[in-house]
Structure 1
């Protein structure tokens, strides 16, 4: 019988303190981006702000305050806005895929046509000083806000093509990674689902032997204060 040892349902969890850096439109917050295969959820645990989203249905602003739960599906462009110390527990579908690049930032089109150009624009130097990492994170945030605002203006003017073009460019950028993502999904979310199926089959036979393999796991964050897309992250191995 498959025993899946990751977080329930192969969900990834992290704690996010949203950036308070001002952007070109005067708002403070994170880096607009989409996920290609992963749904995402926010549980707000402190402060206040909002999440701006852009889909084929248009632009939307959703207020965020403690206790709020907001979730959205792949392809939703999202931008967190920090009004007062916004802190969020982030839940990500398909643990391992977001960390493997299942996100594309809304950089202007001039950065999206070539994978090397895109990677150079979004990279944060792993061995850089904290000041260097912050500078890189802030630079890519500002570029993504520039691209996001252009997409929003087009959508609000009734022109869906820039968003559709961004979706197409994002798919091309991630295409070389899909086989690796499939393997991660098979080891993660697919394995978790398979384990549940086997447990249901066993229970239908009156077999409860898998209950004897029960385990308890506890951990502290494997990293604290990492520069993420939307803010400083405390992350767990899961």
Structure 2
């Protein structure tokens, strides 16, 4: 029998937010970005921090303290800021899509307008190939480039309102369009499959049938082996939940 879909077709990862300082974040900051398809949630586990968001409601700051969950839907730019040992459990809809390029970083406009330049700016070397120090340097440079574009966007939204985000949204759509066919297969095997299972169970139970209960299964999985990888907002421990 196949492995059951993780609840809701979601994915999870454990994030230690970068402690690399930024001009307005002396204890560390992640890379501002948005997701084009997936909703993301931060379940705060330890430390303190905040997540800045920039979207249809303008700019906002959401405090992150243990026990608090903050989530944001596609199109909302978000940036994790570390105010001291911040760790969060990240829950993402559409398992696998964030790792398949669903996220678009807030690089300057000239980079976003070129798929080749964007791909080069977004690419990170493997620590196994170049060593951890060089991988960290590349991840930090990528973060800093995204912060440069983010500052321009934030100022533009302050002056002109959320409509100033339209060029970024248009660029994001162009950048991810070639990947969408592959994303659909991942979505069908994860989130859509979970919805179909619920629909089948509800239909059976409405008839007074317990047939779907006989299909119950149990699964377990270990975290991906090796050192934490460099994500957009920090060092990530992941679980291979993609169907």
Q: Secondary structure of 1:157's partner? A: helix
Determine if contact 2:25/2:81 at 8 Å carries over to the other structure: no
For residue 20 of structure 2, what is the aligned residue in structure 1? 21
For residue 238 of structure 2, what is the aligned residue in structure 1? 235
| Structure 1 residue 153 corresponds to structure 2 residue 152 | no
Counterpart Cα distance in 1 of 2:236 and 2:62: 22
Determine if contact 1:20/1:29 at 8 Å carries over to the other structure: yes
| Structure 1 residue 92 corresponds to structure 2 residue 101 | no
- 1:82/1:213 CA distance change after superposition, 3 Å: same
Compare 48-57 and 206-215 and name the one that shifted more: 206-215
1:138-193 Cα deviation digits (max 9, x unpaired): 11000011111111111112354542111111111111111111111111111111
Compare 18-27 and 79-88 and name the one that shifted more: 18-27
1:66-93 Cα deviation digits (max 9, x unpaired): 0011011100000000010000000001
Report the TM-score, using the length of structure 1 for normalisation.
0.94
Counterpart Cα distance in 1 of 2:107 and 2:181: 25
Q: Secondary structure of 1:124's partner? A: coil
Q: Secondary structure of 2:228's partner? A: strand
> CA shift at 1:108, angstroms?
0.5
Determine if contact 2:4/2:218 at 8 Å carries over to the other structure: no
Alpha-carbon RMSD? 1.7
Give the gaps of 5 or more residues in structure 1: none
Partner of residue 184 from structure 1, selected from 183, 186, 195:
186
Runs of 4+ in 1 over 3 A off after TM superposition: 24-27, 159-162
Report the TM-score, using the length of structure 2 for normalisation.
0.92
1:176-216 Cα deviation digits (max 9, x unpaired): 11111111111111111111111122222332233233222
Counterpart Cα distance in 2 of 1:45 and 1:188: 26
Counterpart Cα distance in 2 of 1:159 and 1:95: 32
Compare 21-30 and 96-105 and name the one that shifted more: 21-30
> CA shift at 1:16, angstroms?
0.4
Partner of residue 143 from structure 2, selected from 134, 141, 157:
141
Aligned residue pairs total 237
> CA shift at 1:125, angstroms?
1.2
Q: Secondary structure of 1:84's partner? A: coil
Give the gaps of 5 or more residues in structure 2: none
> CA shift at 1:26, angstroms?
4.2
Counterpart Cα distance in 1 of 2:220 and 2:193: 21
For residue 195 of structure 1, what is the aligned residue in structure 2? 197
For residue 7 of structure 2, what is the aligned residue in structure 1? 8
For residue 228 of structure 2, what is the aligned residue in structure 1? 225
